Structure 1
Amino acid sequence: MTLRYSIELIEEHDAVNFYSIHLSEEELSELERFFEKFPEGSPFDEDVDTIIAWLDKIGETGALERYFRYEGKYGDGVSAIPIETSNLRLYCIRLSDRILIFGNGGVKNCAAWQDSDTLAEYVEMLVDTSRFITSCLANGTLYMVDKEIIGNLNFSRDEKK
């Protein structure tokens, strides 16, 4: 089965633009779907508050490398927020200090994301997306200007089932 999705701008800040993956069959972006899983009053309120505080800080100062925990293989650009101890992970691609692309995430209840079917699916989608973007930047079909990604931001990938 082929999964179709796009990358869309969801928030503009002085220092950085936040983008998110949006699956074609979903009403909400992946970032919105992440937060919807943990409504106020859930056991993860403190973790969600920590993530929101990091997003606020990144919005003010930019997507500085030190704010992220690398989660994929070196060079694939996939990171997680927050970097401190928390049971929640929100996965993203840090394209630059000024461009951040969010995927989804969830409760990390195992040693590594690869051991969780749910988290592995989110991280692998971001790894593929990072590869697509890197390839498109290299061949000139996408380019970055300041806080914007310009070009065709529609992608598809074959789901591994």
Structure 2
Amino acid sequence: MDNLAKLIYVSHYDKVIYYSIEIIESREHEITSPSTLFDEFIAENKINKEKLQHILDWIEEIGDKYGAKQQFFRNEKKASALPPDTQLPLEPYYYEQGKKKGNNLRLYCIRINEHVVILLNGGIKSTKKAQYCPNVSASFELANKLAKAIEKSLHKNDIEWSDEELDIFYDENLEINF
């Protein structure tokens, strides 16, 4: 049986509109959870308060100030991830024990263009490659499957662009097979 997903609006900033995904277990619309993948990410990572806040700060910063430019996202095959690489010389920074460090919490997402991003889930990355990490490999694989499915939905015009590609339009009952 195919897995199904629904696109759910999350928030609108000056330069970026964020969406997330709700996973649907079957065609009978048995929802596996009452929340989006992004809601689950936040709930599961409240224990990592500073790391989570760092990612939420980047979502706001990208949304209000920069737009979803490629340089602010980690390349994860067809998907992307936040936070940006620590080499980026822009705030917000993540500090641990008073020193600027790299944040190993990953939020996988799908960067559609500079104005539309789909926020998914993730976790603490503990290995060099995400696909081998026991904490994030499932989120990494899911993000890439969903990225392919979203791309297909865009090609089939199940998801359409606004006139200036500043947002997307879709039937609220759209079910995305992945």
With normalisation by structure 1, the TM-score equals 0.84
* Deviating 4+ runs (over 4 angstroms): none
Pairing 1:1-161 to 2, within 5 Å after superposition: 2-24=2-24, 25-39=32-46, 42=47, 44-61=48-65, 62-72=67-77, 76=78, 78-83=79-84, 84=86, 85-145=102-162, 146-152=165-171, 153-157=174-178
Report deviation, 1:140: 2.7
Equivalenced residue count is 150
Extract unaligned runs of 5+ from structure 1: none
The structure whose Rg is larger is 2
| Comparing 20-29 and 125-134, the one that deviates more | 125-134
Cα RMSD, aligned residues only: 1.7
Report deviation, 1:96: 0.5
Residue type at the aligned position of 2:3: L
Change beyond 3 A, Cα 1:113–1:139: same
In 1, Cα distance between equivalents of 2:140 and 2:106? 10
With normalisation by structure 2, the TM-score equals 0.77
Residue type at the aligned position of 2:80: S
Report deviation, 1:32: 0.9
Report deviation, 1:98: 0.4
Report deviation, 1:149: 2.0
Extract unaligned runs of 5+ from structure 2: 25-31, 87-101
| Percent identity (aligned) | 26
